[in-house]
Homo-oligomer: A and B are copies of this chain.
Amino acid sequence: MSDDSTDTPSGAFVGYETCPVRRTLTVLNGKWKLLIIYELLPAPCRFNELKRRLSGVSQRLLTAQLRSLEADGIVDRLVMEVVPPHVEYSLSEKGRSLQPVLQAMEMWGENEIKNSPIS
C-alpha cells in the first residue's frame, strides 16, 4: 500500500474533495447513517431507544456509525454522568442541514409505496 497523493481515506470516493455529490456520499457512506439522521431529526434520542427504533441494527454497528457521524460533526453526543448512564444523541446544525436530502428521499419513497406496494 503506497502512500501517494492519489490515495483517498477509507470509504471515500475518488474526487470527493471537489465533487459535491461524491463529498456527500463519502460522509453518508454506511448503511445506517441516513436512517440514524432521519430518526434524530424530530428529537434527540438515547442509545437504546435509537437501537429499538432502527430495529435491525446491532449495538456494535450502531456504536460505530454514531462515532463516525460524530467524527464528521453530524451528530452530537451528550454524556450525563449519572447512574444508570444517560447518553443523548442529537443532530448538530450540520446534521440538521441534511434535512432536505431526507425530505427528498421521503417524498420519493412515498410515491414508490403508492405506485408499487409490496404486500
Contact = CB atoms under 8 A, between A and B. Distances in A.
B17 A25 contact: no
Interface in A81-118: 97-98, 100-113, 117-118
Interface string A46-80: 00000000011000000000000000000000000
A11 to B, nearest CB: 9
Interface in A19-37: 19-25, 27, 29, 31, 34-35
Interface residues of A, number: 40
Query: Chain A: interface secondary structure?
Result: helix
A117 B21 CA distance: 14
A119 interface: yes
20 contacts: A13-B35, A14-B56, A16-B118, A20-B105, A20-B110, A20-B112, A21-B34, A21-B102, A21-B105, A21-B106, A21-B109, A22-B109, A23-B109, A24-B105, A24-B108, A97-B108, A97-B111, A100-B108, A101-B104, A101-B105
Interface of A: 13-25, 27, 29, 31, 34-35, 38, 55-56, 97-98, 100-113, 117-119
